[in-house]
Amino acid sequence: MTTPAAVQTDQQQYVRAVLRCYTRLPHTPNRSSSHDRRLALQLFEQQVPLDAVKAAFVLAISRRTFRPLQAAPLGPIRSLAYFLPVVDEVQLIGVDPLYIDHLKRRLESGIPIPAPIPW
């Protein structure tokens, strides 16, 4: 049986982990807001796996990073809420962990993913 203290500890660790990852991403604020903390807590309460949140971060940042060169520049990400649709997508559709690893390597190396051939 899980004690209330254990649940609170798990909750705090989860929220801290989400916010730590979020604030270390490119294009995000260096500090989280109280709104971001509430959203992270909601993700915990909805029992969204931390791995799903992290996968959503990788997908969203990859999509921003590997856009066509002629695309208009995007503004900074101002809230954790930016990632919520991608978190939903990851939960609904799922994502191959190998693909996430591939995207992480691409992001870390700075090598863009080749653009699709225009027809």
Establish if 114 belongs to a structural domain.
Answer: no
Establish if 95 belongs to a structural domain.
Answer: yes
Establish if 100 belongs to a structural domain.
Answer: yes
- What is the C-alpha separation between 106 and 44, in angstroms, rounded? 29
Instruction: Say how many domains are in the chain.
Output: 1
CB contact set of 24 (below 8 Å; sequence gap of 6+) = none
Amino acid 6: pLDDT: 64
Amino acid 99: pLDDT: 94
Amino acid 16: pLDDT: 96
pTM of the predicted protein model: 0.85
- What is the C-alpha separation between 38 and 57, in angstroms, rounded? 17
Establish if 118 belongs to a structural domain.
Answer: no
**How confident is the model over 86-112, as pLDDT tens digits?**
999 999 999 999 999 999 998 888 765
Amino acid 116: pLDDT: 45
- For 47, the domain range is 4-109
- Determine the Cα angle at 67 with ends 32 and 63, to 5°: 45
Token reading at 36: 């971001």
**How confident is the model over 37-84, as pLDDT tens digits?**
999 999 999 999 999 999 999 999 999 998 888 889 899 999 999 999
- What is the C-alpha separation between 101 and 31, in angstroms, rounded? 26
- What is the C-alpha separation between 21 and 92, in angstroms, rounded? 22
